[in-house]
Structures are given as C-alpha cells and as structure tokens.
Amino acid sequence: MKSLEEKQLQSEEIFKGNIITVTHEKVELPDGNTAMRECVYHRGGVCILAIEDDCIYLIRQYRYPNRMETIEIPAGKLEEGENPDEACYREFEEETSRRAQNMRFILKLLPTPGFCSEADYLYEAENFKKVDDALPQDDDEFLKFIKMPIDEAYAKVLSGEIVDAKTIIAIMYAYNRKHCK
C-alpha cells in the first residue's frame, strides 16, 4: 500500500503563545504536488472519567472561544515535558478536590486532527476520595462541580446539551460499560 504521508518542505511560525504555536507550512503530497497547511501545535492534555454510585463526575465551565458554558469531564493541558500518566492525577485533584489511588488508561484521542497536533489521554480514576489538602485549581479557572447519573449524562449527549468531544467519548464509554456487560 502506498504511503499517504505528507513531507514538510517549508515552515513559517506565525504565532507562539503559552498554549499553542501556529505555523503555515508547505508540504509535498503523496502524488508529488504541493499544498499549504495551517497547523496548530499543542502539548496535549489529559481527561479523567470518574464514576461513583452510578454517577459521572463533570465540570461546568465557560469556554470563551465558543462563548458558552460547557459540561465536561475533568481535564487539563499537559505542562512542558509532563507525562500524561502523572498529569492525570494532578488535573483530577485540582478540578474535583479528590485524590485517586490509581488511574487506568483508556485511550488516546485526537480532538481536531485536521489542523491541530493536540492529543488527549483519557483515564479512569479508581479508588478516589475527597481530600482537604487538594491541589488548588488554576487562578483563571472558574468551575462548578457536578455529579450526574450516567443515564442522564447519556441523554444530555443525545439531546445536544453536552457537546464536548472528550466528554461525549467518556460518557459513551461509561454508558456502554454499564449497559453492555
């Protein structure tokens, strides 16, 4: 089978911020022609599925780029050089004030592969409990914690109330595990 890989010929950095770098790149296509690509490079993140008493832990927060409140599973970006297997503990504790004894890796997902390098790593928190000495959430985050029955979360996915991709994947995973044993 012939490779579908594209080869970078030129790259110009357009913007470098704290979270993303944006480039404009010229690539050689598999057929030898060239094309331009606009790329967003991102360190990636972790997202955590946490289930207790047949309920899923969710966070309500305002997402400025979309000008709306979203319902999401606890999640956050990776710091420079941070291992996802460690970051998941930090993010879960920061956003829920709960500490997990174990995190089980579920899958890697690419939220927007058409233009962005971001890869998110979905984990399931196991054996967790609320703690008084939890890591603080980020100064610029204003979060509302929600504990919602899995079936209700699933219904909110189907109704379009929950639109965040990583959260949809986690809810579908939890719902299928619950109902397809």
DSSP 71-134: EE-SEEEPPTT--HHHHHHHHHHHHHSEEEEEEEEEEEE-S-TTTB---EEEEEEEEEEE-TTP
Question: Quick one: 124 and 56 in the same domain?
Answer: yes
Question: Quick one: 134 and 113 in the same domain?
Answer: yes
How crowded is residue 97: how many other Cβ atoms within 10 Å of its Cβ?
A: 17
Q: Is the pLDDT of residue 105 over 80?
A: yes
pLDDT band for 142, please (50, 70, 90 cuts).
confident
Question: Quick one: 32 and 106 in the same domain?
Answer: no
Q: Is the pLDDT of residue 137 over 80?
A: no
Per-residue pLDDT, 21:
97
Residue 69 lies in a domain: yes
Residue 2 lies in a domain: no
Question: Quick one: 52 and 126 in the same domain?
Answer: yes
Q: pTM of the entire structure? A: 0.92
Of 96, 104, 97, 100, the residue nearest 123 (C-alpha): 104
Question: Quick one: 147 and 166 in the same domain?
Answer: yes
Of 145, 125, 126, 129, the residue nearest 137 (C-alpha): 145
Question: Quick one: 169 and 111 in the same domain?
Answer: yes
CA 166 to chain centre: 5
Domain hosting 28: range is 7-42
Residue 9: how many CA atoms within 13 Å on its side-chain side?
A: 12
Question: Quick one: 65 and 35 in the same domain?
Answer: no
Provide the domain count of the chain. Answer: 2
Q: Dihedral angle at the C-alpha atoms of 79, 147, 129, 127, nearest 10 degrees?
A: -80
Question: Quick one: 94 and 169 in the same domain?
Answer: yes
Question: Quick one: 32 and 113 in the same domain?
Answer: no
Going by C-beta distance under 8 Å and a sequence separation of 6 or more, which residues neighbour residue 16? 22
Q: Is the pLDDT of residue 146 over 90?
A: yes
Residue 154 lies in a domain: yes
Question: Quick one: 84 and 132 in the same domain?
Answer: yes
Residue 13 lies in a domain: yes
